[in-house]
Amino acid sequence: MQQRVLDIKRAPASHGGHSERRGITGFGFYLYLLSDCVLFATLFAAFAVLHRSVANGPTGMELFGLRNAFIETACLLTSSVTCGMAMLACDRREVRSAFGALAATFILGLVFLALEMNEFAHMAAEGAGPSGSAFLSAFFTLVGTHGLHVTAGLAWLVVIFVQLRQKGLSDGVVRRMYCFSLFWHVIDVVWIAVFSFVYLIGSAS
């Protein structure tokens, strides 16, 4: 195993190609994403421990609307697929369709974020803000951290749009798009856990 890791580290010295560089960057970014999953695991653990500590305030069953959560889920899932389409367009070296697919990803991500902000504002207006109870603190920390990741992804996409315009599908831009697609897919996987364990189980029990 050690040997394999060393192999990819040695690759650029022996070949100096761009796909090796992309491989190393991708692997490093993959390791970062796995560590991000550990961060989310701690927040999920905190939520699981605290989700009954409502301090006589509103419970998940009273707060969560499944319709909203379903639309959010559909947006994020579809944006994951359009992100994949962008990478396929990258493989075919089609700048325009890559741009279009990423634009669709951006819009769907924006819709997701708008729905989430709307929900947060609604909850805060009903007096169920982050300071309401331990349950609400854990909820806002967990879902808010996910929302921040989506926001960071959208900011990253803006940078990619600018670079696609200026440089086209250069090696650097493709490498960034590739890392972005990994990031976006992982964010979607984390969202599966959020809607299942926070919204669905929270609204049922």
Partner 1 sequence: MTQPSTASDETAHVTPGTQDGQGHGSLRGYLVGYVVAMLLTIASFLAAGTDALTPSSVTAAVTVLAIAQMLVHLIFFLHISTSPNQRTNILAFAVTAIVVAMIVAGSLWIMSHLHENMMPVDPQMHMQSEP
Which spans of this chain sit near partner 1 (rule: CB under 8 A)? 1, 4-5, 7-8, 11, 15, 17, 19-20, 22-23, 26-27, 30-31, 34-35, 37-38, 41-42, 44-46, 48-49, 52-56, 66, 69-70, 73-74, 77-78, 80-81, 84-85, 87-88, 90-91, 178, 181-182, 185-186, 188-189, 192-193, 195-197, 199-201, 203-205
Q: Which C-beta is closer to partner 1: that of 123 or that of 133?
A: 133
Q: Which C-beta is closer to partner 1: that of 93 or that of 121?
A: 93
State the DSSP string of the chain.
-HHHHHHHHHHHHHT--HHHHHHHHHHHHHHHHHHHHHHHHHHHHHHHHHTT--TTS--HHHH--HHHHHHHHHHHHHHHHHHHHHHHHHHTT-HHHHHHHHHHHHHHHHHHHHHHHHHHHHHHHTT--TTS-HHHHHHHHHHHHHHHHHHHHHHHHHHHHHHHHHH-S-HHHHHHHHHHHHHHHHHHHHHHHIIIIIIIHHHH-
Q: Which C-beta is closer to partner 1: that of 55 or that of 158?
A: 55
CB of 189 to partner 1, least distance (A): 5
Q: Which C-beta is closer to partner 1: that of 114 or that of 189?
A: 189
